[in-house]
Structure 1
Amino acid sequence: MWHEPGGGWGSKSNNSPVTRTRHPTAEWLAQQIVEAFPWGTAPTYLVRDNDRAYGQAFTNRVRTMGIRDHPISPRSPWQNPYVERLIGTLRRECLDQVLIYGERHLRRILTLYSLYYNETRTHLGLAKDTPLRRSVQQSGTIVTIPMLFGLHHRYPRI
């Protein structure tokens, strides 16, 4: 599901064409989430804003699918930038560089990127460490280990 620049909403499932609407209803959004995650493939959590379009029909459907619905706090726009930053980073560093051949391929790429992001990619906000702390060798020969099929690399010392 995505929000289009012109103000409309769109979605596409594996078995249906792209559907769009300028005025999404809770029923329409509920159907889109079912089509986006068929056969028990739904995520554990859904973080979303408090748009009125996410009405009772949507929240009931999400709950019956076993998804924990976490709308951001009312009047808390500062909570949106975190997910927007993650989506932007994911697009720039990964998805804009790779041709995706299907859902299985996308899931594989996202899994590999998640490993890279959390175990290898340094973050300035973490004093150039990774979210999952890593040991750093002070001496040794530097080797190159390709990650994400060579899109990114790791440079450990051995």
Structure 2
Amino acid sequence: MSLAERRRCVTYLRNQYEISERRACQAIQLNRSSYRYVGQQELVDAAYEEVVRLSERYPYFGYRKIYDLMRGSWSISRETVRLIRRREGLQVIKKRRKRKVLGMTTQWVNQARYPNHVWSYDFVFDQTEDARQLKCMTVVDEYTRQGFEITVGRSLTATDVIRVLEKLFEEHGRPVCLRSDNGPEMVSKAVQTWLKEKHVDTHYIDPGSPWQNAYCESFNSIFRSTCLDRWLFGSMTEARVVINQWLEEYNTIRPHGSLGGMNPKHYLQRWNEENTNQQPEILTA
């Protein structure tokens, strides 16, 4: 905020709320001497007014362009134009960063307590040999670390997300909560409305905080380092075959340190055996 703008704010506060100069200056964080200061030379002439008029008419023109507009008709230097604009607070408005639409969290879950309690899903990108994009949707059970599905396509929309989740709900039962970032496919009204109809809560992590979706990020990291980075896919069909084989190996062979050295399938079987009576009711789609 320029000095001129701060002065105008102080004047507005004094007139609108009838407060003292001291309090108004404290609110705007402006020294009272700066607010009262008046330059020794008041050069408000026709050229001065023309600079102000052009700057207000073309708010995205800098002082150089305003000077170019006036150069043929007015006797004024470029530095004078700059100082006038600075004094009046007429600098070019900086581009503001657009706010991203965020999803609505309906349940805050820190850690999954049993299978089908919390699922998380995300997207991983790669490309085929012809430099065309591959988009992979990963879905993980945070408690068992089981990878339910890796859907591969050139482009996956909110409609595809609903189709994949509906298929998984039918096969594994629906979770209590779904955790994800604020990607456009996840925060779309269609996905949020569909999940609400299925009575599935959502937990959207804070923007720029991937560690809040740690289980899915860990799965994606393993997926990339042990599969995507090792293969150069010639086609999307080849990618789907290789990725499905990798997912089967991940779920049935690969030991997990967090699961006591067991693979996700073995861990789920053991949990079911030990918690037959205490197992929560599995929700069905």
Q: Which category of TM-score, normalised to the shorter sequence, fits these structures?
A: 0.3 to 0.5
TM-score after normalising by structure 2:
0.28
Structure with bigger gyration radius: 2
Higher relative contact order (CA 8 A, sep 6+): 2
